[in-house]
Structure 1
Amino acid sequence: MIKNEKIIAFEVLLTGVHGEDLGIVETKEALRLAKELGVDLVCLSLSTSPPPCQLVSHTVLKEQSIKDKAMTKKLEKGAKVKEIRLSAYIEEHDYDTKKRQAERILSAGDAVQFIVKLEKRESQEAKQLIEVLVRDLKHCGKQDKGIQVSGKQVIAVMKPLD
């Protein structure tokens, strides 16, 4: 990010502190105006001539850079997979609680892995439970792969919508 005296263009396309268009102004005049208002002159892009610049307060600039760093860090890490365990014979209230929990995780941008531990011969009930859960959560996520039925558990993974 290029700001203040580091901007070398002769004139800039200036936008005010509150987003108002101030037109094409000489860089010296824009810097004087920035000092007068107690803000920074920030160059938004170098690809056009004259380059678009904006008058931005110090606190807004600092908050924006912190947000950008946090977003970059989150993108580098990638999405987490959070696990939610269920039982094949779950009561309606508990089902609603687990569904809300999954909605919250998916809306935060993380994936959810549903695991239903099996006892005896519950594989059909467990598979039906997960199918209903996936259908109920279609508005905030999509199923990654099919439902996996192994010996002692049934697993399904949902990823957030892009």
Structure 2
Amino acid sequence: MIKNEKIKAAEVKLTGLQGEELGIVPTAEALAMAKKLKVDLVCTSLHESPPPCRLAGAGAVRQEKEQAKKQERPAKVKELRLTPHIEEHDLEVKKSQAERLLRGGDAVLLKVVLTGSKEGAQAKALLEELTKALAPYGKRQTGIQQSGKQAMVQLDPL
């Protein structure tokens, strides 16, 4: 992303602060307009002639860079382990951890470790409760899977 005086083109295709098209303008005039409004002139692509540029506040440019970094990073699957006999407070802590991970863009694998053969139904009920509570932040990738000594479900971020 090229900003302000680093733009070497003679003319630019200018877009305003609210996204309105201002047409093809000499670069010097576009820079003067940006200085008058106390914003930056940002070139979005160098592959076109004249290059498309827009007026943007410094905070908006920084925020776009951060969003681009987040989108570049592949989502990781983070695993949270639970037991069917979890205390209420511990369950809230795990729920807030899962919420934070989902908001951060990572997928969450909720795994309930079973010790006895009769805990399967309890584990499924626990996973159902957690997926309903985390519905605003993530959606199920699969249904609840139970195999051997564990029951699990994966939630992907929205």
Please indicate, yes or no, whether the TM-score normalized by the shorter chain is above 0.5. yes
Deviations 1:82-130 (A, max 9, x none): 1111110111111111111111111111111111111112111111111
| Structure 2 residue aligned with 1:77 | 73
- Helix, strand or coil: the match of 2:115? coil
Matched, 1:137 2:152: no
| Structure 1 residue aligned with 2:156 | 159
Distance in 1 between the 2:84 and 2:140 partners? 19
Runs ≥4 residues deviating over 2 A: 1-6, 11-15, 23-26, 31-57, 63-68, 70-77
| Structure 1 residue aligned with 2:93 | 97
Distance in 2 between the 1:133 and 1:123 partners? 15
Distance in 2 between the 1:78 and 1:130 partners? 25
Distance in 2 between the 1:34 and 1:56 partners? 11
| Structure 1 residue aligned with 2:29 | 30
Match for 2:26: what amino acid? T
Aligned identity (percent) is 42
Pairs aligned (count) = 153
Distance in 2 between the 1:29 and 1:74 partners? 34
Structure number with bigger Rg:
1
Q: What's the TM-score once normalised by structure 2's chain length?
A: 0.71
Distance 1:135 1:45, change over 3 A: same
Unpaired segments ≥5 residues, structure 1: none
CA-atom RMSD, angstroms?
Answer: 3.6
Residue 125 of structure 1: which of 122, 127, 138 is its match?
122
Q: Is the 8 A contact 2:42 2:53 kept in 1?
A: yes
Deviations 1:10-32 (A, max 9, x none): x75464xxx388x5575164167
Q: Is the 8 A contact 1:86 1:114 kept in 2?
A: yes
Q: What's the TM-score once normalised by structure 1's chain length?
A: 0.69
- Helix, strand or coil: the match of 1:106? helix
Match for 1:8: what amino acid? A
Q: Is the 8 A contact 2:9 2:50 kept in 1?
A: no
Unpaired segments ≥5 residues, structure 2: none
